[in-house]
Every structure is written in C-alpha cells, then in structure tokens.
Amino acid sequence: MIINRYLLVVVLIFSSNVLLAQRVPAWGGGADQQDLSFGFSFTYVSSDFKIVNQPYFRRPFLDETGVQIKGPLNSISSKNSSGFGVGFLTRYRLTEHLEVRTTPSLIFADRYLHYSYVDPSEDVDKKVQTTSVDVPLQIKLKSDRLGDFRGYVVGGLKYSQTIGSKKNSDANLDLSEKLVKNVSGYASYEAGVGCDIYFEFFKLSPEIKISNSIGNVLVSENNPYSAPLSRLGLHTIMFSLIFE
C-alpha cells in the first residue's frame, strides 16, 4: 500500500511536468518581441521625511521684537503618509536581459512633520502638501523567462518637479501658522525588484521600489517650524502595477 502511494505521487509529479512542458507560454501581447514598447502604471506611495535638526532646535522661537511665539521643543518627527500616482511607461530593449525605461508619473502625496513641545498643548502637525511630476530614468536587468514569469531588478535616478506649489500661500499668516516648504525640484536615486507576469494580450509587472532624495529638500525660513530644521530628506516606498 505504501509503495503504491509513492508510485502514485511520482506519476502525478511526472505528469504535471509533462503538461507544463507542453503548455505554450503566454504571448504577453508581444511586448518582449519589440525593441520599443509602451504601457501605463498605477502606484501606491508611502513617504516620510528624514530629519536633521539644528543644534539649537529645542530653544523657544522668538519674533523680531523678542516676543515668544512657540515654547521649547522636545522633538520633531515624521510619520509615514500615503499617496498614489499614475504614469506612462516607455521601454527600450538593449539586450535579451537588459532594457532602459522611463515612467513619467503624476504623484499625489502629502507629508507630515510632528512638533512635540515641552508644553503638550503646543504640539502641532504640519502638512507639506505636494503634487509632483516624477521623471525617472532606469535600467532593468531581467532573468531568464520561466513559463509565464520573469524576475528583475531595477535602479536609476529620478527628477521630481512640484506643481501647484503653495510657495506664497502663507504670506499673510501669523508666525505661529506658517508652513514648512520644500524645494520645487529635486533628484532622487531609487532601486527595486519586481516580476513580469505574462498573459495572452498583455504583461503585468508588480514592482516595489525604494527612493531617497539627493541633497536637502527644505526651504529655509525664519519661522517656528522651519528654523529648528537643518535639512530634510525624502524617503519613499512605492508599490506599482505596470501594464505593458
């Protein structure tokens, strides 16, 4: 009886391998048969700031006449915030396993800074509201195709340009209500992994990337929320579904 069970398992495994070997791989819409192809993407974005404070950031903030606007700080932190993006893919095949691509995207993502004061009643969250156009240039290194799947790694540089900036929107606000502002354009480096999944008429690529800004994205101003900061860096995790 035991021998018969083992024999049945071996027969099933062998039969499965034969069926898989005889199955014709999905065409994937012919994307891999062309040097140049196009597509579109949907992206979930999670981002936060990497903060470097001024040495004196805990001091109370005083206005030009010496009047205290905000009390002494305990800490400044940034929590993860969510957003989304939509984009278009342009891909050019260099070799069977190497291609260059760009996915210009419109990104909607707000970021937050939390200011914790010695007096808890002064605690405040400041939102940095941004809509940006991201233009990356990436290299994609692909594995051999295994059935209807192919793994890959991707990396490159990205330039982000803010649109609809609120640069002058706080001109008439009191010092205690001022905004924290970011530069309008900045570069980032990014790297990620993903896989190509082939269907009959299209190719789907789930992908996750990590992106970090290069340099300081903070606009330095003399207000209670920008003055304690020395620099801000932007850290972003992106999960994308790319259709090609």
Calculate the alpha carbon distances from 203 to 33, 120, 147 in Å. 12, 52, 13
Q: Which domain holds residue 35?
A: 28-243
Looking up tokens 């278009």 gives 88
Domain membership flag for residue 6: no
Domain membership flag for residue 5: no
Domain membership flag for residue 80: yes
Domain membership flag for residue 64: yes
pLDDT in tens, the chain (244 residues): 444 444 444 344 334 444 444 456 666 667 778 889 999 999 999 999 999 999 999 999 998 888 999 999 999 999 899 999 999 999 999 998 999 999 999 999 889 999 999 999 999 999 887 889 999 999 999 999 898 899 999 999 999 999 865 554 777 788 888 889 999 899 999 999 999 999 888 899 999 999 999 999 999 999 999 999 999 999 999 999 999 9
CA angle 85, 99, 198 (to 5 degrees): 70
Looking up tokens 């396993």 gives 97
**Residues 182, 219 contacting (CB under 8 angstroms):** yes
Domain membership flag for residue 137: yes
Mode of pairing for the β-strands spanning 185-198 and 105-117: unpaired
Q: What phi, psi does 120 have (nearest 5°)?
A: -60, -25
Domain membership flag for residue 127: yes
pLDDT at residue number 32: 77
Q: Which helix (H) or strand (E) holds 111?
A: strand 105-117
Domain membership flag for residue 16: no
CATH number at residue 200: 2.40.160.20
| CB count in 10 Å sphere of residue 119 | 10
The region, left, alpha or beta by phi > 0 then psi within -120 to 50, assigned to residue 96 is: alpha
Domain membership flag for residue 21: no
d(CA 153, CA 161) in angstroms, rounded, equals 25
* E strand residue ranges, 29-122: 36-53, 61-62, 68-70, 73-77, 81-93, 98-102, 105-117
pLDDT at residue number 149: 92
Domain count, the chain: 1
